[in-house]
Each structure stands twice: as structure tokens, then as C-alpha cells.
């Protein structure tokens, strides 16, 4: 079908066909490219689970290797040792025994720029394809952090990751959590839990609401657990000895404010060794935050901006 004018105002020069304004981008090529990626990576069933249930688990053999997961786990343990002065003992507990909020565990913050393996984790093709499907090609990385969870007495409360957003939340997700399990997720190990279908409520749960229909997410080490920003989730208390370890990658739409600031500290070397999508994850296409001089010309002042679902 031939492209139509977007102005339609009689007597005015109409926008020329082929000359695309920011908000009139053609979605078809993006959708077609995304579908090819989804098929090639065998993710269609996971997309369906995200739509119907609000959460999906990608088994390790579908998107990674045992070797990569082993190296990622060691890199996270290295970071914990650097930050907390002692290497966590995943089998018997360890330094996180002292964390104030044991129900959620201890975060190992801002690890992305410390080891290239974390860059490779966020650039994993399945991570990117699911991010594009849920948040578009312009999504940014908000956090890349480790989480160590020790034995604890309390469940971690149900919530959805739509922070600073009042209800009703948009049905289209605004954030995406991709949690890479580094140890087995079982009930006794303090697994994540979630309420199937809850993403359709488009609001936070009220206090204690949802627990009667929450289900544990049991998954072997190496799995990628993915849920959108509307899905109600929490975590079960860990009754088994030892600690749960995971890598949390949290993505958001580009107009939102990332929790971890990478753009001011990512080096040219790191940018150069990664494909262009990495620059976007760091937010280099978002000029927001300008001062008297307006948008910094080093940033893309709008050419990347689109209004479509998969922009
Ligand atoms: O991994 C968990 O136990 C839950 C953490 C959480 O709420 C999150 O990553 O958004
Ligand atoms: Fe959460």
C-alpha cells in the first residue's frame, strides 16, 4: 500500500512520501525484523507466556552455554568479594548474613563496567530480542546488578516494578526485568514467585493482596526469568542453608530515568568493542538532561525517537 500523507491539511504542502517525521516511522520493517529474531531464537512460546501469564523462564540450553554461566557466576562472586571484602559461600551462607533486608537479599550494585562479561550478558541475543519485543529498540538499561539472598524468615512482598507510576498503568509494559539465575531456584532456595495474569490489573497489589494465587518460579541455574513491569512478583523465604545468586538486568523505555548512571562513566573502549545497540542501552540516543545550550549534539536529538510499540 502506498504511504499516505500525515498532515491532511488542505492547502498546505503535505509531508512528502518517503520523508519521514519522528512520529510517522514505518513500523513494518521493525516488526518483520523482530519476528525473524524471535523465530531464529525460538522465543515465540516465551513471548506468548509473557502475554498470557506475565512471566516466562528461558532454559539455559536455549540461549547460553554452561561455560558462560560458570564464568558469569564467578565474575559476580568476584564483585561481591571486592565490594564486601569476603567471597560469598553459596553452599553454606556467608557475608550476607548481616544484611538488613534478608527477605530481598544483598544487592551487588553497578557491576556492568567492571568486567566485559556483564556487557556480554546484557548483549545476549535473547535478552535483546525480548527487550525489543516488550520495550522497543530504543530501550535503555536501568540496572545490571547481582543479588545474593541468604536464609531468611520472611517472604519478600508482592509488588510490580512500575516505580513512580500511578495506576492505571499502561497495558503496554514500560519496564522489563530479566533475572539470570546463577543458582537453582526452588521453593526451599527462596525462589521468586509471581501471580499469573496479574499484569492485566495495571496497578500495584494492595498490602498482602495476591499471595493466595502466587506461584513459585522453580528453574535450574542458568535460566533467564523474564517479566514485564506490570507483573506482581515477590520471593519466598529461603529455608535451605546457603545462598541464592542472580544477575538482575532491568530495562526501561528511553524517556525514563535509569537507576544506575552508565552514560557518564562508560568508556570509549567499552562502547567501541560493542555493537551499536549497546550505546542505546547506555542511553546515548536520549538527549534529556540538557542545560542552557539545549540538547548536547553528541546525543541523538530525536532521530531515534518513535511512537510505536517496537520503536
Ligand atoms: O529476585 C527476587 O527475589 C525479587 C527481586 C525483585 O523484586 C526484582 O528484581 O524486581
Ligand atoms: Fe521487583
Question: What pLDDT digit, counting tens, does each position of 53-78 carry?
Answer: 999 999 999 999 999 999 999 999 99
Under the banding of pLDDT at 50, 70 and 90, the label for residue 296 is confident
Residue 265 is part of a domain; what is its CATH number?
2.60.120.620
pLDDT confidence band for 309 (50 / 70 / 90): low
pLDDT, position 293: 86
Confirm or reject: Cβ of 137 under 6 Å from ligand 1: no
Residue 203 resides in a domain: yes
Position 185 pLDDT exceeds 50: yes
Structural domain boundaries enclosing 197 = 28-281
Contact 143, 230 (CB under 8 A): no
Would you say residue 131 lies in a domain?
A: yes
Answer whether 156 contacts ligand 1 (Cβ < 6 A).
yes
Provide the number of structural domains found in the chain: 1
Query: Is residue 152 within 6 Å of ligand 1 at its C-beta?
Result: no
pTM summary value: 0.91
- pLDDT value at position 13? 44
Q: CB of 145 closer than 6 A to ligand 1?
A: no
User: Is residue 78 assigned to a domain?
Assistant: yes
Q: Higher-confidence residue: 270 or 302?
A: 270
pLDDT for residue 287? 85
**Quick one: CA dihedral 256, 261, 262, 264, positive or negative?**
positive
Q: What letter would DSSP give residue 291?
A: B
Between the CA of 104 and the centroid of ligand 1 the distance, in Å, is: 7
User: In the numeric block, which cell numbers belong to residue 287?
Assistant: 538527549
pLDDT band at 305 (very low <50, low <70, confident <90, very high): low
The ligand minimizing its distance to the Cα of 248 is 1
**54, 147, 162, 237: which to mutate for ligand 1, most atoms within 8 A of CB?**
147
Following DSSP, what letter does each residue of 48-89 receive, concatenated?
HHHHHTSEEEE-HHHH--HHHHHHHHHHHHHHHHHHHSS--B
Per the domain annotation, does 201 fall within a domain? yes
**Does the residue 307 lie in any domain?**
no
| Nine cell digits for residue 56 | 516466562
In a domain, 258, yes or no: yes
Q: Please report whether residue 181 resides in a domain.
A: yes
Mean per-residue pLDDT for 211-218? Answer: 98
Question: Within a domain: residue 193?
Answer: yes
Instruction: Between 274 and 24, name the one with better pLDDT.
Output: 274
Locate the ligand 1 atom nearest the alpha carbon of residue 159 and give its number.
Answer: 7
Q: Which residue's CA is minimally distant from atom 6 of ligand 1?
A: 234
pLDDT in the model for residue 53: 98
What is the best residue among 182, 217, 225, 234 to mutate for testing ligand 1's pocket, by most ligand atoms within 8 Å of CB?
Answer: 234
Amino acid at each position: 500500500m502506498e504511504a499516505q500523507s500525515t498532515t491532511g491539511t488542505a492547502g498546505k504542502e503535505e509531508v512528502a512520501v518517503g520523508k519521514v517525521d519522528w512520529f510517522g516511522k514505518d513500523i513494518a520493517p521493525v516488526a518483520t525484523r523482530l519476528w525473524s529474531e524471535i523465530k531464529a531464537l525460538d522465543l515465540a512460546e516465551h513471548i506468548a507466556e509473557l502475554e498470557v501469564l506475565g512471566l516466562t523462564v528461558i532454559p539455559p540450553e536455549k540461549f547460553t552455554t554452561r561455560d558462560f554461566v560458570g564464568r558469569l557466576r564467578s565474575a559476580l562472586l568476584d564483585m561481591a568479594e571486592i565490594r564486601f571484602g569476603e567471597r560469598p559461600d553459596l553452599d553454606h551462607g556467608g557475608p550476607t548474613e548481616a544484611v538488613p533486608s534478608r527477605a530481598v537479599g544483598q544487592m551487588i550494585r553497578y557491576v556492568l563496567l567492571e568486567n566485559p562479561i556483564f556487557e556480554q550478558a546484557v548483549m545476549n541475543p535473547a535478552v535483546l530480542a525480548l527487550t525489543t519485543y516488550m520495550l522497543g529498540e530504543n530501550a535503555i538499561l536501568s540496572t545490571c546488578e547481582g543479588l545474593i539472598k541468604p536464609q531468611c524468615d520472611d517472604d519478600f512482598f508482592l509488588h510490580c516494578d512500575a516505580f513512580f507510576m500511578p495506576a492505571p498503568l499502561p497495558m503496554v509494559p514500560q519496564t522489563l526485568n530479566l533475572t539470570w539465575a546463577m543458582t537453582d531456584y526452588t521453593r526451599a532456595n527462596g525462589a521468586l514467585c509471581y501471580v499469573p495474569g496479574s499484569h492485566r490489573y495495571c496497578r500495584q497489589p494492595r498490602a498482602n493482596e495476591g499471595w493466595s494465587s502466587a506461584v513459585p518460579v522453580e528453574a535450574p541455574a542458568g535460566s533467564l526469568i523474564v517479566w514485564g513491569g506490570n507483573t506482581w512478583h515477590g520471593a519466598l523465604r529461603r529455608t535451605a542453608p546457603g545462598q541464592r545468586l542472580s544477575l538482575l538486568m532491568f530495562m526501561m523505555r528511553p524517556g525514563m530515568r535509569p537507576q544506575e548512571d552508565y552514560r557518564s562513566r562508560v568508556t570509549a573502549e567499552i562502547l567501541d568493542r560493542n555493537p551499536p545497540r549497546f550505546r542505546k542501552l547506555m542511553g546515548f540516543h536520549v538527549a534529556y538532561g540538557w542545560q542552557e545550550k539545549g540538547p548536547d549534539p553528541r546525543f541523538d536529538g530525536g532521530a531515534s525517537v518513535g511512537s510505536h510499540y517496537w520503536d
